[in-house]
Chains A and B, each alone.
Chain A
C-alpha cells in the first residue's frame, strides 16, 4: 500500500499529488480536509481521544496499516510523525523530497539540503520507504478520480498519548503575517539600528505590507525573531520583496525566493542579492527609503 498522510494543512494536497507517481495512493486523513478527486480511497481517522494532535498516536495509525511507502507533507507535523514512524521501525526517512522515481526495488530521490540551497540525489531501499515532500515543490492537482471515504479507528493505548496538544492559543487579531503579506519590506545590517526600522515600517504601511529582516537584525535584537526571513525563519512569497541593506546570503535567499519580484536597495552594487533582483537602487538606504516614502506621500498614498 502507498499511504499519504493528510491533515488540514493544504500542503498535504501537494503531498497527495506527489505520491500518485508511485501508483494507487490511499489517503490517511486527520481532520476535515476534503481530498475528493485526489485519490480513490481515503480513510478518515476517527478516534475518541484524537480530538487533538498527538504525534505518536498519528504514527501508530500509519504503522497499523503496514504501508510499503509513506508520503507526508514537509511540515512540522509531517516531519514529526514520520520521524516517529521511522524511529519505531528503524527505517530511514528522506525529508523534503522534491522529485522521486521508482527504480525496481529502490526509489531515486532528489531532496533539499540547507533549506533548499543545495540538493541531494539519493537512493532509498528497504521497506517501508518513508519520505516527506518539500512544501511548494509541486502544485496540488486533483486527478478527477471518484473518492470513497471510510472511517478508520486505529487501536491506540495510553502510551500513544503521552505527548499531545493540551491547549491552543489563537493568533492575536490584526497581526500582519509575514508569510502571507503581499509586500514585504526587509531590512538587514545596513539599517544600522532598531530605530532605523521606523522608516521601513512607514514604507510597509503605505504599501499595505509587513516588515521582515535578516538574521543579523533579529540576532542584534533590532527586530523580533518572528520577523526573520530565511532558512531558520519565515518563508515568504509576496508580490514584491524590498530588501534594504541585506547582502543576500543563501540562508536568507531560501526564505525569499518565493517572492515574485525583488527590489534591492544596497550601497554595494556587487552584493549577491543584487544579482537576484529585478530592480536595484544603489546607495544609502537612509536617504533612499525616506525619499521613496516622501514621493509616495506626494502622490497622495
Chain B
C-alpha cells in the first residue's frame, strides 16, 4: 500500500487578519505557518493506514522553499518521504496546483494506491484540488470523509449527513478528501524530528499556468462590534447572569 498525502502551507492567523498594503495577501511578517487541521488529520490517517496494512507514505506540497517546514513536520509525525513542488511564492490556481500535483504523482517510480487531501485548504478554501487530481489521474474520488476502512482492495468511506452517515465504497487506487474529526493526530516524537531533519526532500520545479479566475484583492470583512456589558467579576455576577437568561426567555420568571 503506497499512500500519498497533500498539504498546503498557510499562515497561522491570530484573532485578526492584517493584509499587505496592496491588499493582495495576508501580512505574514509576524506570523508562523501551519497546515489545515483537515490536512493534519489526512497525515495521521495516512500513517494509520500504512501501519495497519503495511506500505509506505509520502507527503507532497506545492509552495515556496519554506514549505519544506510543513513537509518536515509531517515527516516528524512519521511520514517516510516528501516531495516539494517548489514555486517562487506566487499564487497558483486550483487548476494549476492540481495539474502540477498530478504530474508529480505520476512521475513517482511506483503508483499511489491511495491519495489523501484535506476537504478544503485553510486559506482559500476552494474545495476542489483533490477532485481535480482524481480526474487527471482517472481515479475514483470522494470528499468530506470522516471515516476510512480498507479491506481487500476496497475502501469504505463515511461522510456525515444530517446527523447520520452516508457510506461510500470505492475500488483502489482512489482519492479521498478528509475532514478534521476522522482521527486525533499524534504529536511528533523527538526521534521523528531527528529523522525528519536527516531525510532529504525530493524537489520538483512545476510549470505554472493561467486561470480564468483572477483575484482582484482581499478584503477584511467589517467587524460586527458589539457593545459589551460587563455583568461583573467572579461568582457575584451569577444573579445578573440569570437575569439575562430570564430576559432572553431561557428560564421561567
The residues of A with any CB-CB pair to B shorter than 8 Å are 53, 55, 76, 79-80, 82-84, 86-88, 90-96, 110, 112-126, 132, 162-171, 175, 177, 182-183, 206-208, 215, 218-219, 221, 224-226, 228, 231-233, 239-240, 247-251, 257, 261-264, 269, 272, 274-284, 287-288, 290-292, 294-296, 299-301
Interface contact A263-B238, CB-CB below 8 Å: no
Scoring B14, B125, B234 by chain A CB atoms within 10 A of each residue's CB, the highest score goes to: B125
Max chain B CB contacts within 10 Å: which of A92, A272, A284? A92
Q: Is the CB of B161 within 8 A of A168?
A: yes
Q: In the assembly, what is the distance between CA of A264 and CA of B136, in Å?
A: 48
| Residues of B with C-beta under 8 A to A121 | 215-219
- The listed residue (A119, A163, A182, A225) touching B168 by CB distance below 8 A is A163
A to B CB contacts below 8 Å, 9 in the list = A92-B213, A95-B127, A112-B125, A118-B17, A118-B123, A162-B140, A219-B184, A276-B225, A279-B241
Question: In the bound complex, do residue A263 and residue B241 qualify as a contact, i.e. CB atoms below 8 Å apart?
Answer: yes
Contacts of B219 in A (CB 8 A): 110, 118-121
- Residues of B at the A interface (CB closer than 8 Å) are 13-17, 26, 36-38, 93-95, 98, 120, 122-128, 130-132, 134-136, 140-144, 159, 161-171, 179-181, 184, 211-221, 224-239, 241-242, 244-245, 248, 250-252
A224: chain B residues within 8 A (beta carbon) = 181
With contacts A92-B212, A165-B168, A288-B238 known, is A113 near B218, CB below 8 A? yes
Q: How far is the CB of A98 from chain B (nearest CB, A)?
A: 9
In the complex with contacts A226-B181, A287-B235, A295-B242, A83-B131 CB distance below 8 A: yes
Contact of A84 among B126, B131, B144, B241 (CB under 8 A): B131
User: Majority SS of interface residues in chain B?
Assistant: mixed
Which single member of B93, B161, B184, B234 contacts A76 (CB below 8 Å)? B161
**Judging by beta carbons under 8 Å apart, are B164 and A93 in contact?**
no
Q: Is the CB of B170 within 8 A of A272?
A: no
Residues of A within 8 A of B168 (CB): 163-166
B218/A118 in contact, CB under 8 A: yes
Most chain B beta carbons < 10 A, residue from A114, A164, A221: A114
Cα distance, A116 to B171, chains bound together (Å): 35
Cβ–Cβ contact B142 & A171, under 8 A: no
A295→B125 contact, CB < 8 A: no
- Given A124-B212, A124-B214, A291-B236, list of 10 further CB < 8 A pairs? A79-B120, A114-B123, A121-B215, A121-B216, A125-B214, A163-B142, A263-B241, A278-B226, A287-B234, A301-B251
Tell me if B235 and A221 are in contact (CB < 8 A). no
Q: Within the assembled complex, what's the spacing in Å between the Cα atoms of A232 and B95?
A: 23
How distant is B43 from chain A, measured CB to nearest CB, in Å? 14
Knowing A118-B219, A232-B38, A301-B251 touch, does A294 contact B238 (C-beta < 8 A)?
yes
Contacts of A215 in B (CB 8 A): 37, 180
A299–B250 CB distance below 8 A? no
Shortest C-beta distance, A94 to chain B (Å), equals 6
* Closest 8 pairs between A and B when the two form their complex, measured CB to CB: A225-B181, A171-B163, A291-B235, A272-B15, A126-B212, A87-B135, A92-B213, A83-B131
- Nearest-neighbour CB distance to chain B for A222, whole angstroms, equals 11
Bound CA span A92–B85, Å: 21
Interfacial chain A residues near B225, Cβ < 8 Å? 275-276
Asked if residues B123 and A171 are in contact (CB atoms below 8 Å), the reply is: no
B217 to chain A, nearest CB (A): 5
Instruction: Please name all residues of chain B whose beta carbon is closer than 8 Å to the beta carbon of A55 when the two chains form the complex.
Output: 141-143
Residues of A within 8 A of B248 (CB): 239-240, 261
- Please tell me if the beta carbons of B241 and A119 are within 8 angstroms of each other in the complex: no
Interface contact A288-B235, CB-CB below 8 Å: yes
A225 to B36 Cα, complex, angstroms: 15
CB distance from B1 to the nearest CB of A (A): 20
A255 to B37, CA, bound (A): 15
Question: Which residues of the partner chain A approach B128 to less than 8 Å between Cβ atoms?
Answer: 79, 82-83, 86-87, 93, 95
Q: Is the CB of B181 within 8 A of A166?
A: no
Q: Which residue of B lies closest to A84 (CB)?
A: B131
CB distance from B226 to the nearest CB of A (A): 6
User: Within the complex, what minimum Cβ distance (angstroms) separates B213 from chain A?
Assistant: 4
B242-A284 in contact (CB<8A)? no
Of B211, B216, B237, most A-chain CB atoms within 10 Å:
B237
Flag if B179 contacts A232 (CB, 8 Å).
Answer: yes
Q: Are A163 and B242 in contact (CB under 8 A)?
A: no
Q: Which of B135, B143, B215, B231 contacts A120 (CB 8 A)?
A: B215
Asked if A76 and B233 sit within 8 Å, CB to CB, the answer is no
| A125 partner residues in chain B, CB cutoff 8 A | 212, 214
Is A166 within 8 A of B169, CB to CB? yes
Contact present for B163 and A175 (CB under 8 Å): yes
By CB atoms of chain A within 10 A, which of B131, B135, B230 has the most? B131
Known: A91-B212, A170-B164, A301-B251. A233 touches B232 (CB 8 A): no
B230 touches A280 (CB 8 A): yes
Contact A280 B242 (CB under 8 A): no
Per the bound structure, the CA–CA distance linking A250 and B220 in Å amounts to 12
